[in-house]
Amino acid sequence: MLAGDQNALKRLDGIGRTDVMIRIFNAALAAALLVSWPAMAHTPEQPPHQLYNEGDLKLESGEAIKDFSISYVTHGTLNAQKSNAILMVTAISGNHHRLDFMIGPGKALDTSKYFIVCTDAIANGLTTSPSNSKQQPRMAFPKFLIRDMVESQYRLLKEKLGIDHVVAVVGPSMGGMQTLQWGVSHPEFMDSLVAIVPLAKTPAWSVAVMEASRKAIMNDPAWKDGNYDTPPEQGIRLWRDIVALLAARTPDMYAAQFKNGLDVLPWMEQQETAVLKAFDADDWIYQTWAYDRHDVGTTPGFNGDTAKALASIKAKTLILTGTKDLLNPEFEPIEMGKNISDVTIKTISPGSANGHASAGGFLPTDVDFLNREVGAFLDVVAKGGKIFHYDARAPQGRTY
């Protein structure tokens, strides 16, 4: 909220104040949601993209991604002991900018304290992907798992950056899924995990959403079995509607933004157009296949026991959920998270109903909440202090 808006509110009370707050909220929401989620741009003043070539990346399936390079950026300074690193892993269709609203001096991922490594996931168009692979282009690309993403990041930290331990692994949505997988695959590697709107095991609902988005693309004749020269526009538009405009948002958000229901239609078209060239359709399909198959319980050694796998996590863990999340239903991480011995579970911006989008950095209330709560959690972790556990439904919870 702008200072001028805050001053105006101070001069109002009762119904007048409420009306102004609603108008300000609606304006902020409308502006924020015009931002294309996957199309987070890189500006000249930001850290440069870097690539680390890992050779052929062997996958859990036994196949390999040939000539694999992982894309990343870093923020802050790695100390001499290499003990202040934080790994950020990104959401589906996202990139290393996904949590920029939490990175910087005084923010949760404070660059005056920490060295932040922001990675790009397999098939996000920057790291090796169906859209950019020369040896395995398009549908010749092998299928991969969330665990394969984690192993590519592990190799980057160990081989390229010489980092053997991190303060935290942090990620939203599919990044939250990677975060929990990190805790299972490499339990000694981190002090803490921050999993935002995550899943430990993808439920049938989320699989159905992803399958609908894939069918939207694959049933567009312009997709051409994945071998298109120009994007399959109609399929991409429908994919955007299904996931970003329906599953990732809530009826409450639409009610706040649109008093006239029909006003949503031109806005939807704007949103669809924004994503047409922002993320490749084949890349999306491959990432959704990994999303569908995610289950920390299928990590070697756990025989499909998801609860047992989560119980093996040794790191202090913060799980943040979104009220009315229609993509990664909030009850899933709440129930699964109870298997982690040292876990804090909290709802983002209690009293709001922003669903999956509560992790998107769109709304000031959510941005403030995430910076405050994650920052406080990491401060306690860094000091080796005690974490007070939260009731995920408590309006205020307890302080760290």
pLDDT (tens digit per residue) in 156-165: 999 999 999 9
Confidence at residue 46, expressed as pLDDT on a 0 to 100 scale: 80
User: How is residue 114 written in tokens?
Assistant: 């920490």
Predicted TM-score (pTM) of this structure: 0.88
How far is it, in rounded angstroms, from Cα 279 to Cα 126?
A: 10
Give domain limits for the chain.
Answer: 34-400
How far is it, in rounded angstroms, from Cα 360 to Cα 243?
A: 14
H-run or E-run covering 344: strand 343-347
Judged by DSSP in three states, 366 sits in helix
**Are the beta carbons of 359 and 366 closer than 8 angstroms?**
yes
Residue 118: strand pairing partners: 73, 88
Amino acid at 261: G
Answer whether residue 331 shows pLDDT above 90. Answer: yes
Q: CB burial class (10 A; 0-12, 13-18, 19+) of residue 309? A: buried
Sign of CA dihedral 34, 217, 354, 23: positive
**Mean pLDDT estimate for the chain:** 88
Judged by DSSP in three states, 316 sits in strand
H-run or E-run covering 75: strand 64-75
pLDDT (tens digit per residue) in 171-219: 999 999 999 999 999 999 999 999 999 999 999 999 999 999 999 999 9
C-alpha atoms less than 13 angstroms from C-alpha of 264 in its C-beta half-sphere? 14
How far is it, in rounded angstroms, from Cα 228 to Cα 116?
A: 37
How far is it, in rounded angstroms, from Cα 237 to Cα 273?
A: 7
Question: Band of the pLDDT at 274, cuts 50, 70, 90?
Answer: confident
From start to end of 158-306, where are the E strands?
166-172, 190-196
CATH architecture of 34-400: 3-Layer(aba) Sandwich (3.40)
- Give helix 281-292 / helix 174-185 axis angle, nearest 10°: 50
Confidence at residue 102, expressed as pLDDT on a 0 to 100 scale: 98
Judged by DSSP in three states, 321 sits in strand
pLDDT (tens digit per residue) in 71-110: 999 999 999 999 999 999 999 999 999 999 999 999 999 9
Confidence at residue 37, expressed as pLDDT on a 0 to 100 scale: 44
**Are the beta carbons of 205 and 300 closer than 8 angstroms?**
no
Confidence at residue 388, expressed as pLDDT on a 0 to 100 scale: 46
Residue 309: strand pairing partners: none
Confidence at residue 40, expressed as pLDDT on a 0 to 100 scale: 55
Measured distance between the N- and C-terminal CA atoms of the chain, rounded to whole angstroms: 27
How far is it, in rounded angstroms, from Cα 105 to Cα 36?
A: 25
How far is it, in rounded angstroms, from Cα 325 to Cα 224?
A: 33
How far is it, in rounded angstroms, from Cα 223 to Cα 227?
A: 7
pLDDT (tens digit per residue) in 307-322: 999 999 999 999 999 9
Share of the chain above pLDDT 70, in %: 86
The stretch 29-36 carries a mean pLDDT of 41
Confidence at residue 275, expressed as pLDDT on a 0 to 100 scale: 83
Residues 6+ apart with CB under 8 A from 384: none
User: How is residue 22 written in tokens?
Assistant: 């609603």
> 159: alpha, beta or left, given left = phi > 0 and alpha = psi -120 to 50?
alpha
Identify which has the larger pLDDT, 302 or 25.
Answer: 302
The stretch 25-36 carries a mean pLDDT of 42
Question: Band of the pLDDT at 1, cuts 50, 70, 90?
Answer: very low
For the sheet with 64-75, list strands across it: 50-58, 64-75, 115-119, 85-88, 166-172, 190-196, 316-321, 343-347
Confidence at residue 42, expressed as pLDDT on a 0 to 100 scale: 63
How far is it, in rounded angstroms, from Cα 82 to Cα 320?
A: 28
